Structure 1
Amino acid sequence: MPSWESFTLAEQTLLRRAMSDSWLAGTVQAYGVNLRWAGADGAPPPRSYTEYEQRALVPLLAAVATDLVDRGLLTIHDSAGAVSSGSDASVGGSRLRAILATADNWVWSPRRPSEIQLSAPRTVHERWFDDAYPTADNTGLPRWDELSLNQRRVLVCAAEASGMLTGPFGVLDGPPAELDARRRLDWMDRQLASLAPFVRDGLIEVRRYPDPSSDEFAVIAVGRLRDTLADPALWSDDLDWGIGVGCVFTYAGLAVWRGAWSSAWNARLTFE
């Protein structure tokens, strides 16, 4: 059995998504994030791939996926063909090659429902899940009950699928409309006190999402958080859901979350 470190970043991306029963759509973006967090050559800049960039990478990832399927490490299911990830049946042969060669299956779009799902055999979970999603040593870290209310909110936000910091479901409070520019910045300084240290330590990545109809995003560096979040346009009452600023755990942050604060899932709505 190979070690986790012996897999390429493309293989690791596909295996991680397979162990999470993720859709094939969005996998190219996940690969770009994996490259960037690993500091690999050819990694994208701190933003999402464009659709053109995603489509250009499909042949590479299709070849990797085919090889993993051939090695028995990955299975692909087509829900449009009434095959669910819970079934023993999976796509193979010419149907598999056609699915993987079709770029539309790899690129997320609200206009095309996701139908192709990745999964992994039990042996893959048993052998590599703890390597793909490790738990960090929590020595010296505060306990959940030692974190402030706002720190807990930020961590739960990063763990949630939506993970919005701004907007109607965001965990940060927007500055009152009557504040001038200087006082808006002061307001955001107080809001960011619970977020910025996690970003500075590489545990959380903050992203700006301009359009809910795409998976486009731009990464906001810790030094730009204050000015970005003070932008009045982020706090408009008429923004569509999904437009604004959100956050996700990096792999390092997820390891710390699993090691020190994963029990918070059982109390994630209890912040007092």
Structure 2
Amino acid sequence: MSDSRLAGTVQVYGVDLRWAGADGAPPPRSYTEHEQRALVPQLAVVTLDLVDRGLLTVRESAGLVSSVADMTVEGSRLRAVLTKAENWLWSPSTPSRFRLSAPRFVLEHWFDDAYPTADISGLPRWDELGVDQRLVLVCASEASGMLTGPFGIWDGPPAELDTTQRFDWVDRQLAALLPFVRDGLIEVRRSETASDEFTVIGIDRLRDTLTEPALWCSDLDWGVGVGCVFTYAGLAVWRGGWSGAWNARLTFE
């Protein structure tokens, strides 16, 4: 709610339900368009209630990023915006004009509960992690989080590798990632198209998935391939100290 687009909110809601283990949570994948549309009436009612209670504001932005010139959407137009399913669906070709914004007192009151900080005293310090491990953690914290393809952090395997060599190459890449996945700190996803649709790749399928040549093509669109994101537990650990160490390093350098 600090400043997020209305388009795509349904997908975020589904991920939240799944990570919380809530009843009715979707399986380890994104919602289909049909599932998203079916949830819009419910989420519209919730959003209107939050607006009426002064806990949330819906703004319309003329540009790709929010600014002080954004106009607050109110009254009958607000209801019309929230009940139109297309405004909730993310599209790569149609930038979302509407954003959700919470007042400062809401962020101050609920931010720490929404984004908890974990005690990482039993975990390795940032400078004790390998370079490859740090790279994966930073990747998970970024908007794209891509591991493969032209926008990924990993270079593709050399074309001349045979099947056995390709698996060996994948194993070396996974060595930095698997401990975080195994501990439930990072979730790995595959996107087949440049959209917000994805399927979660279980730890037992990562090795086979990453050997597919199609993932490493140099002409893939942004967002297509395999990427990673922090789970709630991973985000708590990241906020518990690793992000501070990363930011301090950037400042120092």
TM-score between the two structures when normalised by the length of structure 1? 0.87
Of 126, 138, 152 in structure 1, the residue corresponding to residue 108 of structure 2 is: 126
Matched with 1:206 is: 188
* Contact 1:141 1:260 (8 Å CA) reproduced: no
Q: CA deviation at 1:174?
A: 2.2
Structure 2 vs 1, CA of residues 244 and 258 (structure 1 numbering), >3 Å: closer, same or farther? Answer: same
Whichever residue aligns with residue 70 of structure 1, its letter is D
Identity across the alignment (%): 72
Q: CA deviation at 1:85?
A: 5.7
Matched with 2:27 is: 45
Matched with 1:239 is: 220
Whichever residue aligns with residue 262 of structure 1, its letter is S
Of 177, 192, 195 in structure 2, the residue corresponding to residue 195 of structure 1 is: 177
1:15-40 residue CA offsets vs partner (Å, 9 max, x unmatched):
xxx12x00100000001101111111
Matched with 2:138 is: 156
Q: State the distance in 2 between where 1:269 and 1:240 align.
A: 32
Matched with 1:261 is: 242
Q: State the distance in 2 between where 1:267 and 1:165 align.
A: 22
Secondary structure, counterpart of 2:117 in structure 1: coil
Q: CA deviation at 1:242?
A: 2.1
Matched with 1:250 is: 231
Q: State the distance in 1 between where 2:119 and 2:219 align.
A: 43
1:130-171 residue CA offsets vs partner (Å, 9 max, x unmatched):
111111111111111110000000000000111110112312
Q: Where in structure 2 are there 5+ consecutive unaligned residues?
A: none
Q: State the distance in 2 between where 1:87 and 1:255 align.
A: 34
Structure 2 vs 1, CA of residues 239 and 52 (structure 1 numbering), >3 Å: closer, same or farther? Answer: same
Name the Cα RMSD after superposition.
2.0
Structure 2 vs 1, CA of residues 270 and 85 (structure 1 numbering), >3 Å: closer, same or farther? Answer: closer
* Contact 2:62 2:70 (8 Å CA) reproduced: no
Q: State the distance in 2 between where 1:126 and 1:30 align.
A: 21
* Contact 1:156 1:268 (8 Å CA) reproduced: no
Q: CA deviation at 1:270?
A: 9.2
Q: State the distance in 1 between where 2:59 and 2:11 align.
A: 20
Secondary structure, counterpart of 2:72 in structure 1: coil
TM-score between the two structures when normalised by the length of structure 2? 0.93
Q: CA deviation at 1:249?
A: 0.6
